[in-house]
Structure 1
């Protein structure tokens, strides 16, 4: 399956809302709920506009993962971008019917190419101990396991911890003469 990642636009509101509604139960099995208000269209629109504003300010970059028919397969984002430290934080989610097909792995690979273009040095990510698929996607794209939190939290009746990962832009570090030096 060919996929692209496309920057979030104001015209994506309705199709993205439908994607989120269709996948709510699936997502909430893997990550904490965004709450009922997120799934009311008017509230969703306000949240969408807020994300677009954040993107314009350069604080985050939000992408939709799409197929060749322009259908939304998922989302992948760089948030809390710190330009001075050249660090961003990764988030992604793939719709239930598209899991197990390599969509997340391919989308993350595309995103990391954009990270190189943006000259970010480090991307951090976290997932939960029960989300083995996400851990594999991160590791297959060069993320290194940094730590598993010793703080447990309960989600959907399970006690979980966060698993933290880091990806380093080797090209950027080579250009800065920092290759092989630990900055984290």
Structure 2
């Protein structure tokens, strides 16, 4: 079972390596972050900004670690407000399809209720991202409408009752 750790400054090197190693894989399903993101200075600035958002309580960022402590994914709660947040997650190419994302989302739903006092989560994905849709549905998320994700047709999900 994966372990979730709240994002810290000392995660930066492993997180940049993870993002760089999986850049092409992620770009197949989500918009690319752009070249500046992957430069040491660009990544450091972005990481510092994320930590500031987290300190302000706007977002809660986490890394996903495997049984050996390797960073294999990330999972985030963004735009925390009124007992709700938007869930976002990604796991690396060599971790995909092994239940890691499903387990990480399950744990984040639990943590959302217990650690952050949230009562609902929303998530979006593209219609053609079957893996992401499966992860959400296995974790009790219900499709609530259509949307656009990175210019592509998407679907919006919601989950209530996070502690269950």
Equivalent positions of 1:1-184 (< 5 A) are: 2-82=1-81, 85-117=82-114, 118-149=116-147, 154=151, 160-169=152-161
For residue 5 of structure 1, give the secondary structure of its aligned residue in structure 2: strand
What secondary structure sits across from 1:97 in the alignment?
A: coil
| Separation in structure 2 between the aligned mates of residue 147 and residue 36 of structure 1, nearest angstrom | 33
Rounded Cα–Cα distance in structure 2 between residues aligned with 1:121 and 1:137: 19
Taking a change above 3 Å as real, the CA distance of residues 45 and 114 of structure 1, as seen in their structure-2 partners, is same
CA contact (8 A) 1:77 1:92 kept: yes
Query: In 2, distance between residues paired with 1:152 and 1:116?
Result: 27
Please tell me the root mean square deviation across aligned C-alpha atoms, in Å.
1.6
| Whole-angstrom distance in 1 between the partners of 2:92 and 2:150 | 25
Please give the alpha-carbon distance, in whole angstroms, between the structure 2 residues aligned to 1:171 and 1:162: 27
2: distance between equivalents of 1:152 and 1:143?
18
1:69 deviation in Å? 1.4
Q: TM-score, structure 2 length as denominator?
A: 0.94
Q: Which has the larger radius of gyration?
A: 1
What displacement does 1:34 show? Answer: 1.0
Query: Is contact 2:125–2:132 with CA below 8 Å preserved after alignment?
Result: yes
Aligned 8 A contact 2:123 2:156 in 1: yes
CA change 1:161–1:132 in 2 (3 A) is: same
Post-superposition Cα deviations, 1:20-59, rounded to whole Å, max 9, x if no partner, equal 0000000011101111100111100010010011111110
CA distance in 2 between partners of 1:47 and 1:108 (Å):
24
Pair 1:146–1:15, CA change in 2 (3 A): same
Is the Cα–Cα contact under 8 Å of residues 109 and 162 in structure 2 kept in the other structure?
no
Residue aligned with 2:64, SS: strand
Query: Unmatched 5+ residue regions in structure 1?
Result: 155-159, 173-184
Q: Distance in 1 between matches of 2:154 and 2:121?
A: 16
Per-residue CA deviations over 1:127-161 (Å, capped at 9, x if unaligned) read 00110110010000000000123x6865xxxxx31
Instruction: Name the CA distance, whole Å, in 2 between partners of 1:122 and 1:63.
Output: 18
Matched residue of 2:77: which SS? strand
